[in-house]
Amino acid sequence: MKVIRNKQSQGTSLIESMVVLSIIAIMCHIALYNYQPLIIENRLDNHIAKINRAVGLSRLSAVSHGSNVTLCALKHNKCEANQWHKELTVFTDSNKLGVLDDDDVALLNVDATHLQDKLTYPRTYLTFRNDGTPMGFHNGTFVYCPEYEKASHAGLAISISYTGRTKIRNTEKCLE
């Protein structure tokens, strides 16, 4: 007996589909493995830019309003030490330093850092005088460390000079 086939098969077999799916899965795994550091770097750059803008706004507002302006993490309207990873507030500070009174005005809120990240500053609050300089010895360096528990990524630092100017630079403090 002769079997004559006139038509060619138009579909794909199960084996062909499985091979294509496994190749796609391997390629996605390779791509996503390299995607994690990109997300961390992006988060680092975005948050350090927010902090830098908040410091710049604090300085500019102090000069333009002719009063003290403070940047800190508030708890019950009072600046709290070592809480820089929480939501930060920029406000005019006319009475007690580091306290948001009824006479003071909140100018800006900066979102808290990512849960796996850490932001540190050596002071409880940062206050700018009406001439744009930091009050007392409030100059210092903000250090932002992404994924600080793993200590696998370099961080960024914002240094604040005695004149109130800022400078962003890389820091290895996160790798220690």
pLDDT given at position 61: 95
Of the two residues 41 and 4, the one the predictor is more confident about is 41
Question: Average pLDDT, stretch 118-128?
Answer: 92
- Point out the least confidently predicted range of 45-54, 62-71, 132-141: 132-141
Question: Average pLDDT, stretch 60-79?
Answer: 94
pLDDT tier at 32, thresholds 50, 70, 90 = confident
- Token pair 């290895």 is at which residue? 172
CB 107 within 8 A of CB 69: yes
Q: Identify the three-state secondary structure at position 127.
A: strand
* CB burial readout 84-113, b (16+ within 10 A) else e: bbbebbbbbbeeebbbbeeebeebbebebb
Fold of 36-175: minor pseudopilin epsh fold (3.55.40)
All structural domains of the chain with their residue ranges: 36-175
Gap between the Cα atoms of 73 and 40, Å rounded: 23
pLDDT given at position 4: 62
pLDDT tier at 5, thresholds 50, 70, 90 = low
Please check the confidence at residue 1 and state whether its pLDDT lies above 80. Answer: no
Q: pTM score, two decimals?
A: 0.78
